[in-house]
Structure 1
Amino acid sequence: MKNILILTLMVFFAIPSFSQKEMPLYNNHHVPNSISAPDEEHAELGEDGILRISKVSFPTLSVYLPPKEKATGQAVIICPGGGYWILAAGHEGADVAEEFAKRGVAAFVLKYRLPSDETMIDKTIGPLQDAQKAIQTVRENAKEWNINPEKVGILGFSAGGHLASTAGTHFHQAQIDNPKKTSLRPDFMVLVYPVISFDPGIGHSGSSKNLLGENPSQELLDKFSNEKQVNAATPPTYLVHAKDDRVSIRNSYVFEAVLQEKGIHVSTTYFESGGHGFGMVNPQSEIIWMDEVEAWLKKHFTNLP
């Protein structure tokens, strides 16, 4: 019992201490596409040091702002991974946001809803609604947060990479109320060991099952195989992946190829080894992908005058 209490306290204090401000994603918790159900969200710090949040049904956005004198005007919305089953909220969320803020980039960790038939009318679009709402919120508060609304990107790890790439390829169809007609298109994408495709030969079956269900139609699989949704308006993209990842690097390869085919700028950091889930630092390489992404952002997405 004592150990459980200590773990509970660690989780309780760990979450707020990471963020400068955590806010409900939707006003008055009026979450679209939701079914009234008990809030069963659960956070647990594993023995591996990973903070996992499960059963998210009330999404939030945590705000990390750089000092004004360091701010580049760029912003990034971060989608932690977890197979659409949990959120790896620390090393793929809060830690990354803090690092971006240190580098002058405003960062926002999206605690998005995890697909569930018990809490959503249509679970296939629930996470996308939250990603679109996050983009809308950041853009509509850009002045307050010292952000250039034309420099708002999205970053995702693993299944969070699938969500980020969905936001970057499905923005033409608003899944949320958007009375101000705010652009829901991210200005850039950073996808770290992402799930991109639900093609059985490439995709991650767990993510597909959790988002789309046990036996999705081919039409639904194609819709959310994001390499099939790229067009000329898809945002510039940075891909990070290890060649020995259990989420096949072919996900990144196929996405890179179709981006190039459509004339979309794409850059990559491909590691020879490193596996899956390493977060900001691949211990098997001296290359720090965050440095590479920072240089890419400075080169291609500097603040407008």
Structure 2
Amino acid sequence: MKKNLLAAAIALFTMNARSQEIIPLYPQDSIPNSRSSTIAEKAETGTDGILRISDVSVPTLTIYLPAADKANGTAVIICPGGGYRILAAGHEGADVAKQFTEWGVTAFVLKYRLPSDEIMEDRTIGPLQDAQRAIQIVREKAKLWQLNPRQIGIMGFSAGGHLAGSATVHFDRAMIANPLKTSLRPDFAILVYPVISFTEELTHKGSREELLGKEAAADKVKFYSLETQVTKKTPPAFLVHAKDDRAVKVENSLVFAAALEKNRVKHDIYLYDRGGHGFGMKNSTSDVEWMKYLKQWMFNLDLILKKN
């Protein structure tokens, strides 16, 4: 009996030690641009091992803290992908966050609202509101997590890359209340097989339709075609894509890199010959680990210490 109790106590301690703090993006009953709804959030792990979260109406941040002796003051907010229909919250969220903590980076996985007329007054701005709010929270609470408020970046995969990219180019257009006039500009961006363009030639049709609807207004298409929105104030960016990606054409990353180059914004891009779409941190077709290139890039920008 005592052995069973001891085992249970150890199991409970281990579970608590591994658990992460989750904080809401907004005060209860104060989520902007929202409608009351009976939609219930779902989380399912498929036979492919991918955790998919759908019907998100209450956005949150899950916090991953590095060991105190590794922490370097840099933070990254991670936006999982999923075509603006679901969130691939494991291999494009939690797994990535854990890797960052090994580098001394504090990671925040953003569970953002997915576009829906049922839960939003304006579906086209809901996800961007949540990304901006995440940056706002992390910057305003930087002291709490011992962060440098000038080393807060954003990262996204696929449609999450579109969201992270939108926050990267539209930081000067606040979609949320910002009474302290906190900077909503991320200090760097990491975009992995991102949806960039909403043009007919390059867009991922599913992502565009989920965000803008089937009859997308021309001004919205331009606003969310991120390659047209880059300026000299756009923060540095690191991009990853596979040339054989059939879901999101590699040209998405290429046109964004070209826009960064034109505006003399620091950037780097790694292109795999193969790998398709959705590989997360590990492209099974290659021995090259793109995260190692990312680590070097962040070191070059003084965002991490090489020893980590």
Structure 1 length as normaliser, TM-score? 0.92
User: Aligned residues, how many?
Assistant: 290
Local SS of the residue matching 2:28? helix
The code of the aligned residue for 1:251 comes to N
1:252 Cα deviation after fit: 0.3
Q: Distance in 2 between matches of 1:298 and 1:64?
A: 20
Q: Distance in 2 between matches of 1:18 and 1:237?
A: 31
Q: Distance in 1 between matches of 2:303 and 2:168?
A: 20
Matched residues, percent identical? Answer: 57
**Residue matched to 1:5:** none
Asked if the contact 1:91–1:280 (Cα under 8 Å) also holds between the matched residues in 2, the reply is: yes
Does residue 251 of structure 1 match 2:256? no
**Residue matched to 1:275:** 276
Q: Distance in 2 between matches of 1:17 and 1:239?
A: 33
Spell out the pairing of 1:34-73 with structure 2 (5 A cutoff).
Answer: 34-73=34-73
Spell out the pairing of 1:9-88 with structure 2 (5 A cutoff).
Answer: 19-88=19-88
1:226-279 per-position Cα deviation (integer Å, ceiling 9, x unaligned): 001111110100000000012100000000001000010110111000000000
**Residue matched to 2:128:** 128
1:285 Cα deviation after fit: 1.1
The code of the aligned residue for 1:244 comes to D
More deviation, 294-303/213-222: 294-303
1:286 Cα deviation after fit: 1.3
Q: Distance in 1 between matches of 2:80 and 2:104?
A: 20
| Cα distance change, pair 17–95 in 1 and its aligned pair in 2 (3 A) | farther
1:301 Cα deviation after fit: 3.1
1:20-70 per-position Cα deviation (integer Å, ceiling 9, x unaligned): 211111122421000011241101000000000001010000000101210
Q: Distance in 2 between matches of 1:121 and 1:222?
A: 21
Asked if the contact 1:237–1:267 (Cα under 8 Å) also holds between the matched residues in 2, the reply is: yes
1:115-168 per-position Cα deviation (integer Å, ceiling 9, x unaligned): 000000000000000000000010111111011000000000000000000000
Asked if the contact 1:151–1:303 (Cα under 8 Å) also holds between the matched residues in 2, the reply is: no
| Cα distance change, pair 16–185 in 1 and its aligned pair in 2 (3 A) | farther
**Residue matched to 1:301:** 302
Asked if the contact 1:169–1:229 (Cα under 8 Å) also holds between the matched residues in 2, the reply is: yes
Asked if the contact 1:74–1:301 (Cα under 8 Å) also holds between the matched residues in 2, the reply is: no
Asked if the contact 2:64–2:108 (Cα under 8 Å) also holds between the matched residues in 1, the reply is: yes
Q: Distance in 2 between matches of 1:220 and 1:263?
A: 26
Local SS of the residue matching 1:207? helix
Structure 1, gaps ≥5 residues long? 1-14
Q: Distance in 1 between matches of 2:142 and 2:302?
A: 16
1:303 Cα deviation after fit: 6.7
1:178-232 per-position Cα deviation (integer Å, ceiling 9, x unaligned): 1111100000000000000001111100000000001012111111100011111
- C-alpha root-mean-square deviation of aligned residues, in Å? 1.5
Asked if the contact 1:79–1:155 (Cα under 8 Å) also holds between the matched residues in 2, the reply is: yes
Q: Distance in 1 between matches of 2:196 and 2:263?
A: 17
**Residue matched to 1:291:** 292
Structure 2, gaps ≥5 residues long? 1-14
Asked if the contact 2:66–2:104 (Cα under 8 Å) also holds between the matched residues in 1, the reply is: yes
Spell out the pairing of 1:218-233 with structure 2 (5 A cutoff).
Answer: 218-233=218-233
Q: Distance in 1 between matches of 2:226 and 2:178?
A: 23
Q: Distance in 1 between matches of 2:159 and 2:16?
A: 24
| Cα distance change, pair 223–17 in 1 and its aligned pair in 2 (3 A) | farther
Asked if the contact 2:242–2:272 (Cα under 8 Å) also holds between the matched residues in 1, the reply is: yes
1:18 Cα deviation after fit: 6.6
1:19 Cα deviation after fit: 4.9
Q: Distance in 1 between matches of 2:21 and 2:204?
A: 33
1:17 Cα deviation after fit: 8.5
Asked if the contact 2:283–2:289 (Cα under 8 Å) also holds between the matched residues in 1, the reply is: yes
1:298 Cα deviation after fit: 1.0
Asked if the contact 1:167–1:186 (Cα under 8 Å) also holds between the matched residues in 2, the reply is: yes
Q: Distance in 2 between matches of 1:287 and 1:147?
A: 31
The code of the aligned residue for 2:289 comes to I
Asked if the contact 2:103–2:304 (Cα under 8 Å) also holds between the matched residues in 1, the reply is: no
**Residue matched to 2:195:** 195
Asked if the contact 1:156–1:164 (Cα under 8 Å) also holds between the matched residues in 2, the reply is: yes
1:292 Cα deviation after fit: 1.0
Asked if the contact 1:280–1:288 (Cα under 8 Å) also holds between the matched residues in 2, the reply is: yes
